[in-house]
A and B are shown apart, each in its own frame.
Chain A
Amino acid sequence: MAELSKVACQVMWNRLISIVEEQAQALVRTAFSTSVREAGDLSAGVYNAEGQMLAQAVTGTPGHVNAMADAVPHFIRRLGRDNILEGDAYITNDPWEGTGHLHDITVVTPSFHQGQLAGFFACTAHIVDIGGRGFGADANSVYEEGLYIPILKFFDKGVVDQTLIRIIRGNVREPDQVVGDVYALATCNEIGHRRLIDMMKEFHLTDLQGISDFILTHSREATLARIAALPRATATGQMQIDGYDREIDLCVTLTIESDRVLCDWAGTSGVDKKGINVPLVYTKAYACYALKCAIAPDIPNNAASLAPFEITAPENSIVNALHPAPVALRHVIGHMLPDTIYNALDQILPHTVPAEGAGCLCNFQVSLRPRSDAPAPLDARRAEVLMFNSGGSGARPSLDGMSATAFPSGVMTMPVEATEQVGPVIIWRKELRPDSGGAGQFRGGLGQYMEVGARDGHEFDIQAMFDRVNHPALGRHGGAPGAATTIGQDDGTAMKGKGKQFVPHGRKVMMAFPGGAGYGAPDLRDPALVQRDLALGYISKETARNVYGLTTLQIADAIAAAMNGDDI
């Protein structure tokens, strides 16, 4: 490459990353589902004409990392190159060719410059409802999980497919939201396309070949350099989690070679009867994410930087479920994969990875309706309300875990005040859960308490999507486990961690979400930090005394400082 264009290439690479960020922001601003607009469950990327991903927006969630990179080639293959025309936009929610479940809709838009195909833009968003049984674990096959949209044209040379819109409207519970989100996806690709063409004009490019080679070559070389610096080794990591009604064993073997990292899931449990199975695309996404965080965190995601991470899993294992397995809650297992990988990686790269954390998001959906046990008030109504919540993350080799913070997921929670505007739900409590962070030299992050009910005159079903009821996060190097998930009604009625469950009028669901595990033995923890945790109410007096060995005097000092409102 000519000397002069080195600077131009640097500039254009930055520009492409900025373009996909604009694309993602436009999606957040125009989306309808709370999962997209409040929680950021989305992703956006730009591709060259061959369908290789050149840049992916930082805004969004890792669940789409590799899935997005794979998606565009599926579109090219299914549609045929001759059928890709200016003004088109394509759509799918295929779990195996998109991002893992029917609730993620992907829209791909070809980008033409001077009549030639220059590249593609793709974006994905998680919508609140896609019909079927509703978002939950209870389906026995993907057919029960909602409307399936194969890869097809949403815009045909600029003309919207009204038949498709009518089919979507007729099959989902919140048609305005879903159709609005599909439009938002198309809009955000269009904004990316406009910026790309501006850039091509500014740099007098007729195609993306040169810049694409520059990005992919640099990314490949940088990634390979990181891998080459690692010890050549093999290690196996395991984790057991709740599953739906039988336990699931996750097992991964990592092999670090000179120019690639192999990550194989042989030994993992088989496909489950219920909707917690994971298509391989989603397994690849979270496996790559976990490895990149530990090995090459600063290298942007694209086809070349992801390629050296080779993820494999036996067919019909729960992490490589084939059609028509039910997959709606693939995130429950998918979010547990990074911790499993870290159980292996810790043997190869000591002092690098965290202890186990809450793992999967603590999500639930409530379907509210007028009470059926007695006459309902006139203003009682139906509504679907989805909430994303997080437990604690695992303690790090030299830092405490993060309390009520999503890891590995990248989504946000929804504000309680915004949620209560959506439907007649009342969130009675949402605050940190003391003593839930696993003890250790570095403490696990705290989980949280939530209590959920309905406004007077309503009853509801809750779709629980929780794990770690029977299998709390385990500590590393002497750290203690985090607290387990609990769920029940306020009158003591027991509830399950997964599945749709009825809650009668007047009852509340009381939930405690899990904490992250500790790192290092608790007796190595700095007593000043234990006193601080006590003063802030992160731990109880009993834990301070019994687990960390604080003296009565130290405990009294901490409590007095807290009462006095000291700056702690």
Chain B
Amino acid sequence: MARLGVDIGGTFTDVVLELAGSLHSAKVLTTYHAPEDAIVEGLHKVCAQAAISPQEISQIIHGTTLATNALIERRGAKTALITTEGFRDVIEMRTESRFEQYDLNLTLPAPLLPRNRRYTVLERMDARGEVLIPLDIDEVGELAADLATAGYESVAVGLLHSYANPSHERQIRDILTKALPGVPISLSCEVSPQMREYERFNTTIANAYIKPLMARYLDRLAARLAAEGADCPIFLMHSGGGIISLESAATFPVRLVESGPAGGAVFAAELAARHGLNKVLSFDMGGTTAKICLIRDHTPKTARAFEVARSYRFKKGSGMPISIPVIDMVEIGAGGGSLARVDGMGQIRVGPESAGSEPGPACYGRGGLRPSVTDADLMLGKLDPLHFAGGTMPLSPEAATLALQTCLGTPLGMGVTEAAWGLAEVVDENMANAARIHAVENGEDLAEYTMIAFGGAAPLHAAGLCEKLGIERCLIPKGAGVGSAIGFLHAPFSFEANRSVFMRLAAFDPVAVRGIFGELQQEATRFVRFCDATAEILAEFKVYMRYSGQGWEIPVTLTEAQALDADPLVYLACFEQTYTNLFARTVAGMEVEITVWSVNAHTPRTETQTAAPVTAHPAPRATAQRQVFDAASGAFARSDIHERAALAAGHELSGPALITEAETTIIVPASRRAIVLSDGSVALHKKGE
């Protein structure tokens, strides 16, 4: 069976064909005007490599940044919001705070819909879902006529407390469907049925905003692929790390946001399973950003919300909140192209500004004048100027030197080497800090973790990052350059259904609990069944709990039996266990409550072949050597150069060394040794382990 994974990224579209256990991959430039063109080009390339015709492909799994980009670039449909009277400005007033407190000239991001596209109707539910003011059907009818006249292409409906009682939102949909035939309608009680109006309304609006665009693209894609002979089912990767049908994706396109990085996390999770690693930190570093994600027991951490389109240096709060089930990762502006400068304190700062592909880092010799991470890597000997990108693109150490000296060295009284060292240390430290905060928020101690590193720039920085985080072992898989697309092929069909229903444990109602979980399980299963008519469907149960009065819930995982037996004492025990893991101690004498209920239905994950153990034996003698800077000793050290293609399973070598391949270079510092595993991954171990 041939399966195709397709990841559309900012620069490249990666296409991976899996056939009889082997992988064929192609990287083609993303075609912004018609993204399907790049897919078709890649499709033919990999089919040619594998010597099959597109007709033989049985399944295509697709992830794309299209949804994310449409939100960032504000290229969505003409969309209206209908909301409760008195709350027209929820998405504009946000949290009423400033995300950067010391900037007197701060500019807040504009709301996704300007005020004239936000309409109100008289109605009101209370927090318990009881009607305080009934909906005025005639008023909605008049509004519908106005919306038709104005020519809206999409409508979002977000009413206060609709997560507790959706009936008014549904009545509005019924009226709009008649008055505005063909116009898609997104209800907040369906897109994101969770408490907190700003997040829910914004998510619903985002869904409505990109819905026509994504529906058109998905239609076009299916037709185009069929015309090329690939007339098989197409599925979409979603932000939660699973896959959904084309139809579900068209209904809830907001769930496609950040699906590419989610694929990367799935790729790392599959590797974790293959190597029997229960605690993994996935580290995906590309040209512009680095993504960091925790993977426990071969499963990426998930969350219920994240922020997209941060407008102010990736700063928390400067984007828009999207509350949907997502793989929980941190993304920071740290990639090969990230630019460095000296701030007012004489401190080196790196990113989030990036040199991009034009002009690119200074060493590309295309006019870049400011030093980037890649320039520092070059001057520290980590990159070979003559063999970058397989030798297709010679790098200029002179240009890198000039940029480092002018922008960092001279102002700080440092030489070029020290400036490059400082730059590399700062970017590694930025990533390490992001990883640490992420770990703390999840109550994890990274010392027990193994890193899995992929993406073009990751192998250069992985070992340094491990040193900072106290991580003993790091794996750099084969196919690291197209990791996300490979990840798509390993993702299960899945759909997570959530609902906000507030319940104190003191007023625990087992009948209601079984009812909630029953409905959620039915809803989630329906989506999965639509993708696969026969597969076994598993369900995971979670409740979000807290002490009464706290604002942040913690996710508590329950077994199916625990969930449906509905014994409040069992729920309490599970909560206290989880709370202790996170925050060291429970708080005595407090009431406990549940706020959100969740069921994730999915098909069984693909069986993973455990990587066979290898017997270590010395790698062949290095073909060459060069000087590479060692951060630990603060000096250059003579390092062996090995070609990855020349190494076989079991080959072991000792740092300082480099392992080179066309797309990237693995740095093995003096403190570590490298061993090639049976699946071709390279493991970096701390010496003396």
Is chain B found bound to chain A in the same assembly? yes
Q: Is the CB of B552 within 8 A of A29?
A: yes
When distances are taken between beta carbons in the complex, the residues of chain A under 8 Å from B195 are 415, 417-418, 421
Q: How long is the Cα–Cα vector from A565 to B114 in the complex, in angstroms?
A: 9
Report if B150 contacts A (CB, 8 A): yes
Q: Which of B557-598 contact A (CB under 8 A)?
A: 583-585, 587, 589-591
Q: Is the CB of B108 within 8 A of A399?
A: no
When distances are taken between beta carbons in the complex, the residues of chain A under 8 Å from B78 are 565, 567
Q: Count of chain A residues with Cβ under 8 Å from any Cβ of B?
A: 96
Report if B465 contacts A (CB, 8 A): no
Please pick, from A410, A421, A538, the residue contacting B115 in the complex, using a CB distance under 8 A: A538
Q: Is the CB of B548 within 8 A of A299?
A: no
Q: Is the CB of A32 within 8 A of B97?
A: no
Closest to A361 in B: B96
When distances are taken between beta carbons in the complex, the residues of chain A under 8 Å from B620 are none
B376 to chain A, nearest CB (A): 12
Q: Is the CB of B551 within 8 A of A426?
A: no
When distances are taken between beta carbons in the complex, the residues of chain B under 8 Å from A565 are 78, 80, 116-117, 147, 150-152
Q: Which of A382-423 contact B (CB under 8 A)?
A: 388-390, 396, 398-399, 402-407, 410-413, 415-418, 420-421
Q: Is the CB of B89 within 8 A of A432?
A: yes
Q: How long is the Cα–Cα vector from A113 to B160 in the complex, in angstroms?
A: 52
When distances are taken between beta carbons in the complex, the residues of chain B under 8 Å from A412 are 95-97
- Stretch of B18-26, B303-311, B435-443 at the chain-chain interface: B435-443
Q: Is the CB of A536 within 8 A of B114?
A: yes
Contact A431/B87 with A37-B552, A406-B96, A412-B95 known, Cβ cut-off 8 Å: yes
When distances are taken between beta carbons in the complex, the residues of chain A under 8 Å from B549 are 32-33, 174, 176-177, 180
Q: Is the CB of A406 within 8 A of B160?
A: no
Q: How long is the Cα–Cα vector from A429 to B124 in the complex, in angstroms?
A: 11
Q: Is the CB of A176 within 8 A of B590?
A: yes
Q: Is the CB of B102 within 8 A of A297?
A: yes
Q: Mark B536-562, 1 if CB is under 8 A from A, else 0.
A: 000000000001111110000000000
Q: Mark B81-115, 1 if CB is under 8 A from A, else 0.
A: 00001111110110111100111111110000011
Contact A298/B583 with A402-B106, A404-B96, A412-B95 known, Cβ cut-off 8 Å: no
Q: How long is the Cα–Cα vector from A195 to B430 in the complex, in angstroms?
A: 16
Q: Is the CB of A195 within 8 A of B114?
A: no
B interface, over-half SS: loop
B201 to chain A, nearest CB (A): 11
Q: Is the CB of B96 within 8 A of A426?
A: no
A41 to chain B, nearest CB (A): 11
Q: How long is the Cα–Cα vector from A300 to B345 in the complex, in angstroms?
A: 9
Report if A276 contacts B (CB, 8 A): no
Report if A10 contacts B (CB, 8 A): yes
When distances are taken between beta carbons in the complex, the residues of chain B under 8 Å from A354 are 104
- Stretch of B263-271, B420-428, B603-611 at the chain-chain interface: B420-428
B353 to chain A, nearest CB (A): 15
Closest to B83 in A: A431
Q: How long is the Cα–Cα vector from A268 to B548 in the complex, in angstroms?
A: 44
Please pick, from B197, B425, B583, B590, the residue contacting A416 in the complex, using a CB distance under 8 A: B197
A44 to chain B, nearest CB (A): 13
When distances are taken between beta carbons in the complex, the residues of chain B under 8 Å from A25 are 437, 440-441
Q: How long is the Cα–Cα vector from A420 to B127 in the complex, in angstroms?
A: 6
Closest to B440 in A: A22
Please pick, from A15, A28, A191, A404, the residue contacting B93 in the complex, using a CB distance under 8 A: A404
Report if A554 contacts B (CB, 8 A): no
Report if B533 contacts A (CB, 8 A): no
Q: Which of A1-39 contact B (CB under 8 A)?
A: 3-4, 6-7, 10-11, 13-15, 18, 21-22, 25-26, 28-34, 37-38
Please pick, from B96, B160, B437, B547, the residue contacting A405 in the complex, using a CB distance under 8 A: B96
Report if B429 contacts A (CB, 8 A): yes
Q: How long is the Cα–Cα vector from A183 to B589 in the complex, in angstroms?
A: 12
Q: Mark A469-496, 1 if CB is under 8 A from B, else 0.
A: 0000000000000000000000000000
A322 to chain B, nearest CB (A): 30
Q: Is the CB of B548 within 8 A of A566?
A: no
Q: How long is the Cα–Cα vector from A298 to B101 in the complex, in angstroms?
A: 10
Report if B177 contacts A (CB, 8 A): no
* Residue positions of B touching A, CB distance < 8 A: 78, 80, 85-90, 92-93, 95-98, 101-108, 114-117, 124, 126-127, 132, 146-147, 150-152, 160-161, 195-198, 343-348, 414, 418, 421-422, 425-426, 429-430, 433, 436-437, 440-441, 468, 470, 502, 547-552, 583-585, 587, 589-591, 634
A-B contacts, 13 listed (Cβ < 8 Å):
A10-B347, A15-B433, A176-B547, A176-B549, A180-B549, A190-B584, A222-B344, A353-B104, A405-B108, A416-B197, A429-B86, A431-B89, A565-B80
The 10 A-B residue pairs with the shortest CB-CB distance, nearest first, are A37-B551, A429-B86, A565-B150, A297-B102, A412-B95, A32-B549, A562-B116, A18-B433, A413-B96, A420-B127
